[in-house]
């Protein structure tokens, strides 16, 4: 099978059967590190909604995980006109995670629905967030001679074939979802934020990786039991979105984006009513999200808007 087919099988099995997030899980994502992440994203979305539209819209998250980002975004914008005007659509294929999301989010908003894909979004303006979603989408890998890398089984072991260095990756699934989002925004209005770790140069080698218990493991080692991902090719995503005629911004580094949105000020405010231990957590969370040595530069943020006004943070 192709690397893409393998990845797709692994990812769907993994999210259906594991509790991947947090200390006890396999990895930790930005919204699980600090509430500031989801709060600032909520404010960003509300700000664009207010200045561009101020009417009925869909608030959509693709791959919401445990629903933490959405919970924090909704809390930060509570009792607002934005809330009254949005219907929430969560795109999630894992039934187990849908359950977690329902439990945590149903108290926060009266209109939430779940979908497997973006195919049947209502014809309304779309405000969309994708954090660490595109890295889970399948990639194809090619060797120097342009031959596609495959995965073969031999007895009970998996191996790559043919041997050789991977010089190029492609993610047709990512491109198609990106286009779908950008086309919707171009047609009906709205904005999207895509946040992930990845690269902005077009040449890149093998970025397939797997993580279990916060450690890297060989991608073929524990199929479906480790979190298998690939780096996101932001240049290709950007071009795919731009082709639809929508406006594309970034990618900027996550640290820059969050600082421009006032992450530090928010942390200082949170510290005011926090205990010593909590203050340490707030500041180390901020550091983790924004420092170049941690998630600040590896993670990048891309925005799509329907109008040409430069959004905050870009």
Binding site for ligand SAH (CB under 6 A): 11, 15, 29, 31-32, 63-65, 69, 91-94, 97, 131-133, 136
The whole-angstrom separation of Cα 172 and Cα 177 is: 9
Least Å distance between CB 192 and ligand SAH? 14
Closer of 31 and 313 to ligand SAH (Cβ): 31
Burial code (b: 16+ CB inside 10 Å, e: under 16) for 250-289 equals bbbbbbbbbbebbbeebbeebbeeeeeeebebbbebbbbb
Least Å distance between CB 230 and ligand SAH? 12
Closer of 53 and 175 to ligand SAH (Cβ): 175
Which positions ≥6 away from 134 have C-beta within 8 Å?
Answer: 171, 174, 177, 178, 194, 196, 198, 232, 237
Sign for the pseudo-dihedral over CA of 201, 202, 203, 205: positive
Closer of 99 and 245 to ligand SAH (Cβ): 99
41: number of Cβ within 10 Å:
27
Residue 66, Cα to own-chain centre: how many angstroms?
Answer: 13
Least Å distance between CB 239 and ligand SAH? 21
Closer of 32 and 206 to ligand SAH (Cβ): 32
Least Å distance between CB 163 and ligand SAH? 29
Least Å distance between CB 34 and ligand SAH? 12
Using Cβ positions, the residue closest to ligand SAH within the complex turns out to be 63
Closer of 1 and 152 to ligand SAH (Cβ): 1
| 39 φ/ψ sector (left φ>0, alpha ψ -120 to 50, else beta) | alpha
Least Å distance between CB 147 and ligand SAH? 27
Closer of 104 and 274 to ligand SAH (Cβ): 104
Residue 61 φ/ψ, nearest 5 degrees: -120, 130
């Amino acid at each position: 099978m192709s690397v893409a087919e393998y990845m797709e099988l692994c990812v769907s099995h993994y999210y259906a059967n594991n509790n991947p997030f947090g200390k006890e899980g396999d990895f930790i994502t930005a919204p699980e590190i600090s509430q500031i992440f989801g709060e600032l994203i909520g404010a960003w979305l509300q700000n664009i909604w207010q200045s561009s539209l101020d009417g009925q819209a869909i608030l959509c998250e693709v791959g919401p995980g445990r629903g933490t980002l959405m919970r924090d975004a909704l809390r930060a914008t509570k009792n607002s006109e934005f809330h009254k005007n949005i219907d929430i659509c969560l795109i999630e294929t894992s039934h187990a995670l849908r359950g977690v999301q329902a439990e945590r989010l149903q108290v926060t908003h009266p209109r939430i629905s779940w979908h497997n894909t973006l195919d049947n979004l209502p014809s309304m303006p779309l405000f969309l967030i994708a954090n660490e979603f595109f890295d889970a989408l399948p990639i194809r890998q090619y060797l120097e001679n342009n031959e596609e890398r495959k995965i073969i089984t031999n007895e009970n072991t998996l191996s790559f074939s043919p041997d050789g260095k991977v010089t190029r990756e492609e993610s047709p699934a990512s491109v198609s979802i990106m286009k779908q989002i950008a086309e919707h925004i171009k047609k009906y209005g709205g904005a999207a934020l895509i946040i992930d770790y990845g690269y902005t140069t077009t040449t890149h080698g093998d970025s397939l990786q797997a993580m279990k218990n916060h450690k890297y493991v060989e991608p073929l080692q524990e199929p479906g039991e480790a979190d298998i991902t690939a780096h996101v090719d932001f240049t290709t995503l950007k071009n795919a979105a731009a082709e639809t005629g929508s406006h594309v911004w970034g990618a900027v580094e996550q640290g820059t984006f969050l600082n421009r949105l006032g992450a530090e000020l928010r942390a200082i405010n949170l510290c005011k009513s926090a205990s010593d231990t909590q203050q340490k957590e707030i500041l180390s969370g901020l550091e983790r999200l924004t420092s170049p040595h941690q998630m600040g530069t590896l993670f990048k943020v891309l925005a799509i808007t329907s109008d040409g006004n430069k959004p905050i943070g870009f």
